[in-house]
Amino acid sequence: MESTLLRFTAIGSVDDGKSTLIGRLLHDQSAVYDDQLDSIRRVSREGLDLSLITDGLRAEREQGITIDVAYRYFSTPRRRFIIADTPGHEQYTRNMVTGSSTADVAVVLIDARLGVLPQTLRHTYLSWLLGIRRICVAVNKMDAVDFQQEVFEAIRAALLEKAAELPLVELVFLPVSALQGDNVVRRGASMPWFEGPTLLEYLETVQPAPAILSGLRLPLQTVLRGADSDRFYAGQLSGGAVQPGDQVLLLPSGKSGRIAAVRLRDEALSTAATPMSISVSLDGHVDLARGDMIVDPLHPPTSTRHLKAILFWMSSDPLDTGKAYLLKHTTQTVCAEIAAVEASLDVATLRFEPSSVLGLNDIARVKIETQRPLFCDPYAANRATGSFILVDPVSNGTIAAGIIEAAEQPAGPSSLSRPGDHEGGVLWLTGLSSSGKSTLAVVIHQRLKDLGYRVEMLDGDIVRKHLSKGLGFSKEDRDENIRRIGFVAELLARNGIVAIVSAISPYRAIRNEVRARISNFVEIYVNAPLDVCEQRDVKGLYRRARTGELKGMTGIDDPYEPPADPEVECRTDLNSVESCVSQVFRYAVNRLGGHYA
């Protein structure tokens, strides 16, 4: 029978001997190659420095501390193991969070000479916060306190008193000497008063806390095309299992579907389970993209823009509650703001106290509002769909990691949470004359009104008769016309209104100028070949331009510069109006903070 896999993380403050403990565990298990041992002997100052087995970076060896997360693999006849060796220095606590996020068990080290430190409490709390319910406390360097039982029992009592604030956690205490090897792999004779297991025996027998199943969760990373032009939707399963024939719910559309096939690379599967990376195809034609999610229809995630979360702040710059951050959740990225800081953790007591600020390494309970809905679960139910990171949009650095406690004021899958609850913004339709801009704009306008959006439409021809009366068709006049349209659209968007602009706007630079002024700007390229546009031309403009009667016609004797990277491109020569509208809604409406059925 195949042995089970246990992922565990090793955590400790600086100089607690964590790297030496892991080195001892690997060395006494004969899990270190001879050439690696020879290399370590050459650089060891006294004897064999086992900490160098894991501290592989040059900076780590020079400073004598662990900086990066190192993953080590070994096995025994009873079990296979993946160790995440994480930094203990407060400066690198973010790396500790990364290494612990996938662990089943945490091994927290305490220096017997120093006892329970603030960093020990922070590590214990973070382990619990990250969903680890089995924590082994290794009281190390017992040789430095003459293996006294009284020292061990005092540390045990002190940490148990603090950890009383953590529900459902199981703490096991082991006295060890990583330097001499006592109670790591072998028992040794120095502590006959301890009758518990060695560290290895504990790791071989501990049973991780049972997982809480959230149902199928497949966040989509990309869309693949099969040999027969079939679409396969690829991603890593974040919850549950899936097999051909399963009924599924497709988010954000709220439509139902049925799994036609499941693949692992090019191999067909009869079933797939978390955490496999797979691709699936669906019966019938569906329109899905990165950031969408395939889920269990009986146990769907919550759709919400309002989160109650616990946030671990990783930046030296304090939280700015008036600043917009990027929130990365599963495979989608949305704009978000910290609406409120409710309380921060007092590491000394492991209790949350009222607070309104958040600085480096602080842990706080916060409220977050996102620009468009997330499909999420509480972290206790699903680590993947219950966690996120915050990114600074300017530096692109990760500034915080968070776990979702609950969703507040959830939006339903087919309507806004309340009429008018959406962001203002601009949907800018650009394309050649007769490409279909006005047709799409009218349908989008009506559909948004039906859903309760505050919406206005700015048609290029109508604006010219009023706002831009007197302007000609030179490049300068055309640019000025677009600036005026952009100015009005910006005012509308700033006041929570969705402005739909339908204008040829032929020059890329002026469109980008308008985009730079409007934070929620969606460029929709209504694309149809020139010959198709000429066939549709009910006004006869192209015919007049071809005969020379009309000068400066875009596409004939004046250029049209298509968008370099539009948010949406609608091929109106290939797709129906309804299909194009759905394409716009799938991207733009969710960005503005709503859903549609």
Q: Tokens 């051909």, residue? A: 244
Nearest to 481 by CA among 507, 442, 515, 445: 507
What's the farthest any 2 CA atoms get from each other in the chain? Answer: 105
Task: State the burial class of residue 109 (Cβ atoms within 10 Å of its Cβ: 0-12, 13-18, 19+).
Answer: buried
Backbone phi, psi, residue 249, to 5°: -110, 135
Helix (H, G, I), strand (E, B) or coil at 211: coil
Report the C-alpha gap between 468 and 476 in whole angstroms. Answer: 13
Q: Six-digit token pair at 61? A: 């060896």
Other residues' Cβ atoms within 10 Å of the Cβ of residue 348: 9
Rounded to whole angstroms, how far apart are CA atoms 82 and 219?
25
Rounded CA-CA distance 37/259 in Å is 51
* Per-residue exposure over 393-406, b if at least 16 CB sit within 10 Å of its own CB, e if not: eeeeebbbbbbbbe
309 with 264: CB under 8 angstroms? no
Angle at 333 between CA 584 and CA 425, to 5 degrees: 45
Helix, strand, coil share (%) of the chain residues, nearest 5? 25, 30, 40
- Burial of 220 per CB tally in 10 Å (0-12, 13-18, 19+): buried
User: Is residue 378 reached through a cis peptide bond, with omega within 30 degrees of 0 on the bond before it?
Assistant: no
Active site residue 505: yes
DSSP conformation letters of 487-512: HHHHHHHHTT-EEEEE-----HHHHH
- Alpha-carbon distance 376 to 385, whole Å? 5
Report the C-alpha gap between 361 and 536 in whole angstroms: 62
Rounded-to-integer distance, Cα 45 and Cα 47, Å? 7
Catalytic residue among 414, 468, 505, 519: 505
CB under 8 Å to 61, separation ≥6 — which residues? 43, 52, 55
CB neighbour class for 284 (10 Å; exposed up to 12, middle 13-18, buried from 19): exposed
Half-sphere exposure (CA, 13 Å, Cβ side) for 82?
12
Render the burial of 492-503: b for 16+ CB within 10 Å, e for the rest.
bbeeebbbbbbb
Positions annotated as catalytic residues are 505
